[in-house]
């Protein structure tokens, strides 16, 4: 079952940018692309836990601010020669509001 | 017995439905009622009527003869005021009560009017019907009009009026025109075409108030204070389904009137079609789906099975000379392949988005001849794996010409300046080539192009190649990144000679191979644009590395370091106390004296940044830009104030320099040192710009470094007065930022252009360079900390904080 939690307005995140949602088990980065899609990923880079929310967003990827790994926002996979993956969570936009699936909280508490 | 059918609204949807009923000879006694004082006409053709390409008579779809031939009773200029569903009657605004067996809503939509102060002034109109069109047509050529809204409708209104000689300004809230249908690159080309038609386009512009005089509109006021005078103001910012009547009648209504797949509303005797409906969560604003709805409704009325299915939509703009097309989903990303084709010479842009061997989206500008073919591929989900390589060229492509890497240079007009040092245009180079100068050396000798600083060498070679064809082979040079074949130097020259003032402009005119750049090219372009066009270009924080976006240095654990300015390395007990207090209050784990004569607070949490800045601001301190490709520190020694050897006030000069250069963005970081005598305690001779004071004045030298490379500075000039020293330093800073490649420190740039060239420039153009420097500083000499702490503090906080319980 999915239950969507209303997080914030789409405009609260700049286009090609991100903000974090804090949970008791760490931060989730919520990204907004130039085309106004949103993606939610764990905020810790698979390399050395760099805060992905602070990276440069291009297309549907983000470049980690610490050592430039490029992470896919869709799959959480590191691109190119780098190997690693971060968790991704369902997210969507409806009527200008960003919604996250509650299951991500449950998944995180189970982890 | 023949049933009575009443149709409310003679719009594009109901017009099509009536045709279908008539064609099939349906057994209904039909009454058509329309609020507008006329029957069905082709509303979308109001734009050609406005521009003068068509007359109203030509766009009428059904005339009186047609209605009477098919026994349709009409009541035009009549509104339905109420419905009694139990009694199955409608009541007109003149009080007539008419019975029905089946009722069809085709009430369309209402234009949305932004409730700005002054929106009810005389002369503020929408663009929806013939009356609006006639208002616009009545505006003489000596009048001004403002259109709010840069979407399809607003642009058609603007172009139509411009064609009649009206002075039109379009005000659009988003960064580029038609953002729902076009990406930035296509939006840039569209804007360019409209500007060529004499239309003024203002994007990212927020309307604040409509100003009036004697009850009539006079001007639009933007929130940046700009006043745009106008005699007529057209709002084209969107539509809302017209549902009032249905709501009053108690039908199920959401955004629109709820209908099922058969176009039946919550009342089985009542149907609805057109822009007034909501089907499966969607509402509609283009005619293609409305026509499908009309056929389905006709079949439902005739008791045949039919189902309305939403389909992929495509968009075109009905403005002569602006050929654009967009369809499907054109957001880019992984798992999706982007095929981009740009022909700067013809102003053509094509982009296809492919996912799993299927085209899912397309944006085209300039050449849309093949758009139907591409739209077909999208709708039919055709497997394109066989034609992938040549797909972008369209259906006619049969092993034709490959992408031309020289297209951008070939497209340059002959009067575009290629060599900035010597003022040589493309035309002069082409002339020299035609006169027999067929290599770089000969070009240098005959025209002097690229004979000075040499940064235009790449472009000169490309002019040679595009003029001589295969006879000239371009030596390979490293491009900025995978998005382009051009070098940094080429791109910089293109930005200057073509006066490119936005990123989409650079992408298009330089033939970028991606739709919108990457993390390597965007920061470089952002710098080039703001350095060359400080007034026109607006800095893009999203194209900056985190440190420059958040004005603090990110640490390995995601915290930040905060370094306030300590002008010339001088501080006061008050400042030190404020730093100490801030360190306590925000539990800063490490306080360290930096190698740049100031104090670093390391390990500050991102959320605390605006607060700690506000505290430091309150004590008079500002951002030290320790994170920037810009002015860092001006290191000084004590000089004449205290030292027995000091020859000039090195501390004072250092402070003056730091204050005047503060905030300036440069290709890489810029560090200065001022020593009071040749003993050089401030290590001035290993800085980007070093000043060593001597009895007779100031020795200014440049190109030092003490990082990955250690370099000693080289003497640029010696001047007598402090005033001259400051002017020379501003000039060299400006020259550096106007010419160097992004991420070249001065010493690297100097190795490319030569100290002699720099000397000549600073000597000959000092005053002009200083003037441009000061112009740019009017925008950039400010404290970002104060600005962010007051206006953007919220963006440093988490978007939300969730606990498990809160979500349950
Ligand atoms: C804080 C400081 C070290 C210190 O504790 O003293 C420092 C810290 C960093 N330096 Fe530095 N540099 C500091 C003085 C220097 C100096 C000494 C100086 O300025 O007199 C140098 C050599 C002089 C020079 O620049 O030529 C120096 C040469 C570098 C370099 C090499 C630059 C080069 O072109 O070779 C880098 C790497 C870079 O910029 O790409 C660097 C990069 C860095 C970065 C920004 C690394 C990074 O990208 O994260 C460090 C940031 C730490 C932080 O989070 O605050 N730092 N760095 C000094 C801050 C000075 C200030 O007050 O602003
Ligand atoms: C200038 C312009 C250009 C356009 N260009 C394009 C284009 O290029 N491509 C495209 O696909 N679409 C275009 N559109 C949109 C397209 O015209 C609409 O989608 C379409 O007209 C909607 O049809 P409709 O039948 O739902 O409503 P309408 O055509 O708006 O008809 C509704 C009618 O109902 C009447 N009415 C409302 N309430 C009542 C009432 N209570 N009693 C009696 N009558 C009532 C109204 O007076 C109106 O005449 C354009 C629109 C405009 C204004
Ligand atoms: S020398 Fe290296 S480790 Fe030390 S501050 Fe500079 S960049 Fe960091
Ligand atoms: S932590 Fe992300 S690249 Fe190193």
Are B807 and A105 an interchain contact pair (Cβ–Cβ within 8 Å)?
yes
The shortest C-alpha distance from B764 to chain A (Å) reads 40
Tokens 């910012």 correspond to B237
The answer to whether residue A76 neighbours chain B at the CB level (below 8 Å) is: no
Give the pLDDT score at B331.
Answer: 65
Mean pLDDT value across residues B585-593: 97
CA distance B133 to B125: 10
Considering only CB atoms, A102 lies closest to which of B519, B795, B807, namely B807
Output the DSSP codes for B325-358. EEEE-----TTEEEEEEEETTTTEEEEEEEETTE
Tokens 């400006």 correspond to B734
Are A23 and B803 an interchain contact pair (Cβ–Cβ within 8 Å)?
yes
Are B519 and A70 an interchain contact pair (Cβ–Cβ within 8 Å)?
yes
Cα atoms in the Cβ-side hemisphere of radius 13 Å centred on B429: 36
Which tokens sit at B502? 């936005």
Within 8 A of A93 by CB-CB distance, chain B residues are none
Residue in chain A closest to B337 (alpha carbons) equals: A59
Are A27 and B798 an interchain contact pair (Cβ–Cβ within 8 Å)?
yes
The answer to whether residue A85 neighbours chain B at the CB level (below 8 Å) is: no
Ligand 4 pocket by Cβ (under 6 Å): A 45, 47-50, 64, 66-69
Q: B17-43, pLDDT tens digit by residue?
A: 999 999 999 999 999 999 999 999 999
CA distance B187 to B183: 6
CA of B81 from ligand 4 middle (Å) equals: 65
Residue B141 pLDDT > 90: no
- Name the band, by pLDDT with cuts 50, 70 and 90, for residue B221: very high
The answer to whether residue A46 neighbours chain B at the CB level (below 8 Å) is: no
Q: Taking each helix axis from N to C terminus, what angle separates B722-739 and B650-661, rounded to the nearest 10 degrees?
A: 40
The whole-angstrom distance between residue A93's C-alpha and the CA centroid of its chain comes to 14
Q: Are A73 and A41 in contact (CB under 8 A)?
A: yes
CA distance B189 to B151: 15
> Is the minimum distance from the CB of B405 to ligand 2 under 6 angstroms?
no
In the β-sheet with A4-9, what is the strand arrangement from edge to edge? A4-9, A97-101, A91-94
Within 8 A of A33 by CB-CB distance, chain B residues are 331, 333
Tell me which residue of A20, A24, A17 sits closest to A7, measured CA to CA: A20
Q: Taking each helix axis from N to C terminus, what angle separates B722-739 and B755-780, rounded to the nearest 10 degrees?
A: 90
Residue in chain B closest to A8 (alpha carbons) equals: B799
Is ipTM > 0.85 here?
no
Domain-wise residue ranges, chain A: 4-110
> Is the minimum distance from the CB of B555 to ligand 1 under 6 angstroms?
yes
Question: Rounded mean pLDDT of chain B?
Answer: 92
In the β-sheet with B590-593, what is the strand arrangement from edge to edge? B553-554, B560-562, B599-604, B590-593
CATH architecture of the domain A4-110 equals: 3-layer Sandwich (2.102)
The shortest C-alpha distance from B542 to chain A (Å) reads 6
Mean pLDDT value across residues B628-651: 94
Residue B396 pLDDT > 70: no
The pLDDT > 90 percentage for chain A reads: 70
Residue in chain B closest to A35 (alpha carbons) equals: B331
Backbone angles phi, psi at B366, to 5 degrees: 95, -45
Going along chain B from its start, the domains and CATH numbers come out as: 3-109+241-301 (3.50.50.60), 124-237 (3.50.50.60), 314-397 (3.30.390.30), 407-538 (no CATH), 547-627 (3.90.480.10), 631-784 (3.30.413.10)
Give the pLDDT score at B24.
Answer: 94
Residue in chain B closest to A5 (alpha carbons) equals: B807
Q: Are B466 and B406 in contact (CB under 8 A)?
A: yes
Mean pLDDT value across residues B663-667: 97
Q: B453-472, pLDDT tens digit by residue?
A: 878 888 898 899 888 887 88
Residue B402 pLDDT > 60: no
| DSSP summary character for residue A24 | T
Residue A109 pLDDT > 60: no
Output the DSSP codes for B382-397. -B-GGGTTTGGG-TT-
Mean pLDDT value across residues B360-387: 85
Considering only CB atoms, A34 lies closest to which of B516, B544, B795, namely B516
In the three-class reduction of DSSP (H, G, I as helix; E, B as strand; rest coil), residue B637 is classed as coil
pTM for the full predicted model: 0.77
| DSSP summary character for residue B791 | I
Are A7 and B545 an interchain contact pair (Cβ–Cβ within 8 Å)?
no
Within 8 A of B332 by CB-CB distance, chain A residues are 35, 59-60
**Number of A–B residue contacts, CB under 8 Å:** 119
Residue B397 pLDDT > 90: no
Helix (H) or strand (E) holding B724: helix B722-739
Which tokens sit at B655? 């402070």
Residue B399 pLDDT > 50: no
CA distance B296 to A78: 49
Are A21 and B523 an interchain contact pair (Cβ–Cβ within 8 Å)?
no
Residue B741 pLDDT > 70: yes
Mean pLDDT value across residues B339-356: 85
The shortest C-alpha distance from A82 to chain B (Å) reads 15
Which ligand number lies closest to the CA of residue B289? Answer: 2
| DSSP summary character for residue A10 | G
> Is the minimum distance from the CB of B294 to ligand 1 under 6 angstroms?
no
The pLDDT > 90 percentage for chain B reads: 72
Q: Are B353 and B360 in contact (CB under 8 A)?
A: yes
Beta bridge partners of B689: B672, B702
Are B522 and A56 an interchain contact pair (Cβ–Cβ within 8 Å)?
yes
Within 8 A of B516 by CB-CB distance, chain A residues are 34, 58-59
Helix (H) or strand (E) holding B784: helix B784-787
Tell me which residue of B195, B215, B213 sits closest to B203, measured CA to CA: B195
**Interface of chain B against chain A, CB under 8 Å?**
183-184, 330-336, 338, 514-519, 522-523, 541-546, 549-550, 554, 556-558, 606, 795, 798-804, 807-808
The pLDDT > 70 percentage for chain B reads: 97
Residue B571 pLDDT > 50: yes
CA distance B682 to B690: 9
Residue A107 pLDDT > 70: no
The answer to whether residue A93 neighbours chain B at the CB level (below 8 Å) is: no
In the three-class reduction of DSSP (H, G, I as helix; E, B as strand; rest coil), residue B107 is classed as coil
Beta bridge partners of B326: B315, B363
Give the pLDDT score at A52.
Answer: 96
Give the pLDDT score at B164.
Answer: 93
> Is the minimum distance from the CB of B34 to ligand 2 under 6 angstroms?
yes
For residue B529, how many other CB atoms are within 10 A of its CB? Answer: 23
Show the DSSP H helices in B591-721 as ranges.
609-618, 650-661
Give the pLDDT score at A80.
Answer: 85
Q: A8-22, pLDDT tens digit by residue?
A: 999 999 999 999 998
CA distance B755 to B703: 9
Q: Taking each helix axis from N to C terminus, what angle separates B130-137 and B152-163, rounded to the nearest 10 degrees?
A: 40
Beta strand B28-34 with B3-8 is: parallel
Within 8 A of A23 by CB-CB distance, chain B residues are 801-804
CA triple A12-A13-A14, angle to 5 deg:
115
Tell me which residue of B118, B123, B341 sits closest to B216, measured CA to CA: B123
The shortest C-alpha distance from B86 to chain A (Å) reads 35
Considering only CB atoms, B331 lies closest to which of A17, A35, A79, namely A35
CA of B745 from ligand 4 middle (Å) equals: 26
The answer to whether residue A80 neighbours chain B at the CB level (below 8 Å) is: no
């Amino acid at each position: 079952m999915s239950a969507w939690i209303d997080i914030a307005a789409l405009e609260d995140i700049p286009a090609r940018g991100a903000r974090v949602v804090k949970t008791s088990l760490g931060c989730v980065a919520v990204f907004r692309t130039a085309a106004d899609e949103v993606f939610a990923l764990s905020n810790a880079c698979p390399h050395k836990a760099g805060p992905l929310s602070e990276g440069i967003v291009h297309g549907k990827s983000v470049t980690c601010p610490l050592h430039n790994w490029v992470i896919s926002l869709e799959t959480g996979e590191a691109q190119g020669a780098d190997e690693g993956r971060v968790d991704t969570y369902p997210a969507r936009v409806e009527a200008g509001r960003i919604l996250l699936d509650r299951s991500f909280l449950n998944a995180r508490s189970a982890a | 017995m023949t049933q009575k059918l009443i149709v409310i609204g003679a719009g594009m949807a109901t017009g099509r439905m009536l045709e279908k009923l008539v064609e099939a000879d349906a057994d209904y006694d039909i009454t058509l009622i329309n609020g507008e004082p006329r029957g069905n006409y082709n509303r979308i053709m109001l734009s050609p009527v406005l521009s003068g390409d068509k007359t109203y008579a030509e766009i009428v779809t059904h005339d009186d003869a047609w209605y009477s031939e098919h026994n349709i009773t009409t009541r035009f200029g009549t509104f339905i005021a109420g419905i009694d569903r139990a009694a199955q009657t409608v009541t007109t605004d003149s009080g007539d009560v008419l019975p029905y067996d089946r009722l069809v809503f085709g009430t369309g939509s209402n234009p949305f009017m932004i409730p700005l102060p002054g929106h009810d002034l005389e002369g503020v109109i929408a663009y929806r019907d013939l009356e609006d069109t006639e208002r616009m047509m009545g505006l003489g050529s000596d009048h001004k009009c403002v259109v709010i809204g840069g979407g399809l409708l607003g642009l058609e209104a603007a172009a139509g009026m411009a064609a009649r000689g009206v002075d039109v300004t379009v005000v659009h809230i988003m960064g580029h025109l038609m953002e729902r249908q076009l990406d930035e690159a296509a939006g840039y080309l569209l804007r360019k075409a409209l500007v060529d038609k004499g239309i003024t386009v203002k994007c990212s512009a927020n309307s604040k108030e409509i100003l009036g005089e004697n009850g009539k509109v006079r001007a639009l006021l933007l929130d940046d204070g700009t006043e745009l005078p106008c005699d007529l103001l057209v709002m084209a910012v969107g539509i809302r389904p017209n549902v009032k009547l249905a709501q009053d009648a108690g039908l199920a209504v959401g955004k629109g009137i709820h209908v099922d797949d058969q176009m039946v509303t919550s009342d089985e005797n009542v149907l609805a079609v057109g822009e007034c409906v909501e089907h499966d969560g969607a509402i509609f604003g283009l005619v293609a789906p409305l026509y499908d709805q009309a056929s389905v409704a006709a079949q439902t009325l005739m008791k045949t099975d039919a189902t309305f299915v939403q389909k992929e939509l495509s968009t075109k703009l009905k403005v002569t000379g602006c050929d654009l097309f967009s369809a499907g989903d054109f957001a880019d990303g992984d798992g999706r392949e982007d095929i981009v084709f740009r022909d700067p010479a013809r102003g053509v842009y094509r982009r296809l988005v492919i996912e799993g061997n299927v085209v899912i989206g397309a944006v085209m500008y300039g050449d849309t001849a093949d758009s139907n073919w591409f739209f077909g591929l999208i709708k039919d989900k055709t497997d394109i794996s066989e034609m992938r390589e040549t797909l972008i060229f369209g259906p006619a492509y049969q092993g034709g010409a490959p992408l031309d890497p020289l297209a951008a240079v070939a497209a340059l007009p002959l009067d575009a300046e290629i060599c900035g040092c010597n003022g040589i245009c493309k035309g002069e180079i082409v002339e020299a080539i035609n006169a027999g100068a067929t290599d770089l050396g000969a070009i240098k000798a005959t025209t002097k192009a690229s004979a000075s600083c040499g940064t235009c060498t790449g472009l000169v070679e490309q002019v040679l190649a595009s003029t001589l064809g295969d006879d000239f082979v371009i030596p390979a040079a490293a491009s900025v990144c995978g998005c382009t074949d051009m070098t940094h130097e080429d791109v910089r020259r293109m930005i200057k000679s073509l006066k490119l003032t936005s990123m989409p402009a650079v992408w298009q005119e330089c033939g970028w191979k991606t739709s919108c750049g990457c993390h390597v090219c965007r920061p470089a372009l952002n710098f080039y644009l703001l350095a060359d066009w400080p007034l026109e270009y607006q800095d893009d924080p999203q194209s900056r590395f985190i440190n420059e976006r958040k004005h603090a240095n990110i640490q390995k654990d995601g915290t930040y370091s905060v370094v306030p300015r300590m002008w010339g390395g001088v501080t006061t007990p008050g400042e030190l106390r404020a730093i100490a207090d801030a360190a306590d209050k925000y539990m800063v784990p490490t306080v360290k004296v930096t190698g740049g004569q100031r104090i670093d607070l390391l390990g500050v949490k991102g959320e605390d940044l605006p607060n700690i800045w506000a505290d430091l601001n309150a004590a008079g301190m500002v951002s030290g830009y320790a994170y920037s490709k810009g002015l860092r520190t001006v290191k000084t020694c004590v000089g004449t104030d205290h030292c027995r050897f000091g020859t000039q006030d090195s501390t004072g000069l250092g402070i003056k320099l730091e204050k005047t250069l503060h905030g300036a963005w440069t290709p890489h970081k810029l560090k200065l040192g001022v020593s009071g005598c040749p003993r050089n305690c401030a290590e001035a001779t290993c800085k980007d710009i070093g000043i060593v004071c001597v009895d007779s004045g100031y020795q200014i030298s440049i190109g030092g470094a003490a990082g990955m490379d250690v370099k000693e500075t080289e003497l640029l000039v010696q001047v007598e007065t402090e005033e001259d020293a400051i002017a020379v330093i501003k000039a060299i800073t400006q020259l550096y930022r106007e010419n160097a490649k992004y991420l070249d420190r001065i010493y690297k740039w100097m190795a490319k252009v030569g100290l002699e060239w720099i000397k000549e420039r600073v000597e000959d153009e000092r005053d002009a360079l200083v003037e441009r420097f000061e112009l740019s500083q009017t925008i950039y000499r400010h404290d970002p900390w104060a600005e962010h702490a007051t206006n953007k503090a919220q963006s440093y906080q988490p978007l939300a904080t969730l606990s498990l319980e809160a979500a349950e």
